[in-house]
Structure 1
Amino acid sequence: MKKAIIGVIAAAAAGGAWAQSSTVTLYGIASSDVVSVNNVVGAGGATKSQTRIDSGALSASRLGFRGKEDLGDGLSAIFTLEAGVNLDDGQTAMGRTFGRGAFVGLDGRFGTATVGRQWNLNDDLMCGFFICGGFAAFRYTEFDWLSDLTNNTVKYWSPSVGGLKVGALYSAGESTTSSNGGRTVEGALGYDAGPFSAGATIHEGKNADASRTDRLWSLGASYKLGAVKLRGAFANSKTESLSLPTATTWDAGADWAVAPQWRLSLDHVARNQKGTKNDSYFDRLIVVYQLSKRTDINANLVRMNNSGTASERFYGNGKAGVDQRVIALGMTHTF
């Protein structure tokens, strides 16, 4: 439950047309897990089992401030400052104060436009179809752009018209070596009406000197049947100027509200390299028990399988053909 900690009438003393309502909301997630993982590859290629404390195998821990000011005529000024927090050691995540987002913008009948560091369109849209959280398709080598943050970004989402909305994103690379170095451009189309939802995204990103171009597109859909939500998604990734084959990933999953306090999610997520046998897949089972509306205990059971020289993993370094099993037992509190 989010709590509005400040509720004021902006410039009330001035009166007149400037007397508009303004709120700032403090929110966050505190999540920590005890994790057992095997085949962690260390120095020299040796593998070992490990028991560790992690922060947020299901939901990343965070602390944020979200603000909104009514400007009148259906227009609002908005901002978000969100910090990632590692509960295992108390340090700030992502190597920066507000690593999970820092932006300001306008929201109105025209849609929502924001400027700053923010999540990309893939994360906004495709997390309804791909499984998200700590063990997900974006952990595959070629698919980190399925869920990522971009700096120096202008993002726009249109209002929903008949269930349909469009999104656009431009991230200025601000490179000193190339006019378009570090640049990211994305587009998205989403549909949400009743039990059915669908979406599509495209992404193009360049490295700092524009010598490499990463291209990714994705499709996804879901359908809700009573207490069960069926999900499916597909993505294609191609990196130019590197000797990397085209890769694809797909996710077939289901979420089931078994009872008011119990929830299950099951996913099969595969990764394929074109023209090779260096493929990977993992299966993931999530069990959540709600202690209250804001607090749950949960279990993540994941097994990564690698064939050929594939070396995908969740912990440690990669090693060709080595599989990995993860068991994470955790608690999450949302406020």
Structure 2
Amino acid sequence: MKKLATLTVLAVASAASFAQSSVTLFGVADATVQFGRGSASNNSGLGSGGNASSRIGFRGVEDLGGGLKAGFWLESGFNLDDGTGSSNLSGGDYNNQFNSGYSAGSGLRFARRATVSLMGDSWGEFRLGRDFSLQYLNASAYDPFGDNGVGSTLLTNTRMGLGGPVATRVGNSATYFTPNFGGFYGAVQAYRGEQPAGTNHSNGNGYGARIGYKNGPLDVGLSYAKTDYAADAADYRVGDIKDWGLGASYDFGMASVMAAYRKQEVNNAAFGDPEGTGYIVGAKVPVGAGEIRASWSRFETEFTGVDAKADKFALGYVHNLSKRTAVYTTFAYVKNKGGAGVALNGATLTSANDNSKGLDIGLRHVF
């Protein structure tokens, strides 16, 4: 009887332990028929991530007791149109490309996010690994298209923006997120370039912070980040980078409106210390089982002899077939000035200052 009682207690304890832990497989499958129109050539084909980036991931949480939890998050992007992996390096992620053993190939890898966390009910979350930069989170939070597809804001467009190396994600990072204190929230982040011997050891080192207020229909966020890089005489985007961001949104019920501002500065004397300034104004309007999305965004890049400016106008509609499945379409038009050459959906331009159009028609499923 004693042995039976002991086994029973152990079985109950083991069951309770498993009940307090969870691991989830999750992802997005998003395919888009894309059309791009440019002055030199047009393009059409099947793409991926017109409404939400295609991805697959694993996340888990363990309850350690006393309000303390441990968690992990591994997330890999992929291209649904051809089945290849997506490196998610944001076009020029020097923060990771300089790292020994890291390559920008197209194999499936956890480059979207790879973190481990400690979380407390009263004190927030401490997170280590590869994650979104706080400056990107602040800019994308006020984009009605969620920085996906042909309608995504120019504030996060690496071709126009100056945040290049750490525009979207940072590796080797440590981030602390506060809990919500009566609507107020915040986060601080530090990241390292981890350069090999014989190189500039400060390349890729940086820090960022974000504070905000979110309560009811109002959300306001402010961010700042600084990243160290040795100036590159061949690339106007590379040098010590400073990045400021401010955004706000308000949900009126019948519609939610949002606006954001972003300022970037690069310490690169060879190009006259380039500056970039971006704006976005957008809205989401629920209509039955769907939602209309619209935005105008502008980004202006200034350096020696250049004052390039692009304006993007985007209009889209998402129709929810269920809680997990939706069909959507988005149309966008870009007007380039001052030497800007932004083209949409793979189209090409004969020369800078030509305009471009793009259209997405897609199907998205969340699992």
TM above 0.5: yes
Note the C-alpha offset of 1:14: 9.8
| Superposed CA offset, 1:122-174 (max 9, x none) | 34343321342132221152255696111111111111101111111111110
Alignment partners' CA distance in 2, 1:317 and 1:93: 23
Deviation at 1:183, TM superposition (A): 0.9
Per-residue deviation, 1:15: 4.0
Cα 1:147–1:267, aligned 2, differ >3 Å: closer, same or farther? Answer: farther
Equivalent in 66, 78, 93 of residue 59 of structure 2: 66
**C-alpha distance after superposition, 1:240-263 (max 9, x if no partner):** 11515312000001111122x120
CA deviations 1:2-57 (Å, max 9, x no partner) are xxxxxxxxxx66949x94611001111100000110117xxxxxx21111110012
Are 1:321 and 2:353 counterparts? yes
Task: Indicate whether 1:141 and 2:169 are aligned.
Answer: no
Deviation at 1:316, TM superposition (A): 5.5
The structure where strand makes up a greater share of residues is: 1
Deviations 1:165-219 (A, max 9, x none): 1111111110132332211211110110111110000111233789821111000
The answer to whether the 8 A contact 2:162-2:266 is kept is no
Q: Is the 8 A contact 1:222 1:232 kept in 2?
A: yes
Q: Residues 254 and 266 of structure 1 are in contact (CA less than 8 Å); yes or no, is this contact kept in structure 2?
A: yes
Aligned residue number for residue 86 of structure 1: 79
How much is the aligned-residue C-alpha RMSD, in angstroms?
2.3
Q: Does 1:232 align with 2:245?
A: no
> Per the alignment, in what secondary structure is the counterpart of residue 137 of structure 2?
helix
Q: Name which of 86, 94, 115 aligns with 1:103.
A: 115
Distance 2:227 2:278 in 1: 19
The letter of the residue matching 1:55 is S
Q: Where does structure 2 lack aligned partners over 5 or more consecutive residues?
A: 1-9, 88-105, 233-237
Unpaired runs of 5+ residues, structure 1, are 1-11, 41-46
Residue correspondences, number: 316
Counterpart Cα distance in 2 of 1:278 and 1:19: 59
1:164 is the counterpart of 2:184? yes
Correspondence list, 1:212-231, <5 A: 212-231=239-258
1:271 to partner: Cα distance: 1.4
1:89 positional shift: 0.7
- The more displaced of 200-209 and 189-198 is 200-209
1:125-274 matches, within 5 Å, as 125-131=138-144, 132-134=147-149, 135-137=152-154, 138-139=156-157, 140-143=159-162, 148-176=168-196, 177-207=199-229, 212-241=239-268, 242-243=270-271, 245-259=274-288, 261-274=289-302
2:336 alignment counterpart: 306
Give the structure-1-normalised TM-score: 0.88
Aligned counterpart, 1:330: 362
Partner of 1:34: 33
Compare 125-134 and 111-120 and name the one that shifted more.
Answer: 125-134
CA change 1:136–1:56 in 2 (3 A) is same
Cα distance in 1 for partners of 2:312, 2:174 equals: 34
Compared CA separation, residues 309 and 29, structure 1 to 2 (3 A): same
Distance (Å, rounded) in 1 between the aligned partners of 2:167 and 2:54: 16
Structure showing greater radius of gyration is: 2
If the length of structure 2 is used for normalisation, what is the TM-score?
Answer: 0.80
Find out whether 1:295 has 2:325 as its counterpart. yes
SS in 1 for 2:42: strand
Question: 317-326 or 228-237, which moves further after superposition?
Answer: 317-326
2:315 & 2:206 partners in 1: Cα distance? 33
The residue type equivalent to 1:88 in the other structure is D
2:231, 2:275 → 1: CA distance?
22
Q: Deviations over 1:58-104 (max 9, x none)?
A: 21100010100000011100100001010111011113511211110
Q: Compare relative contact order (CA 8 Å, sep 6+) and give the higher one, 1 or 2.
A: 2
Q: Percent identical across equivalent pairs?
A: 27
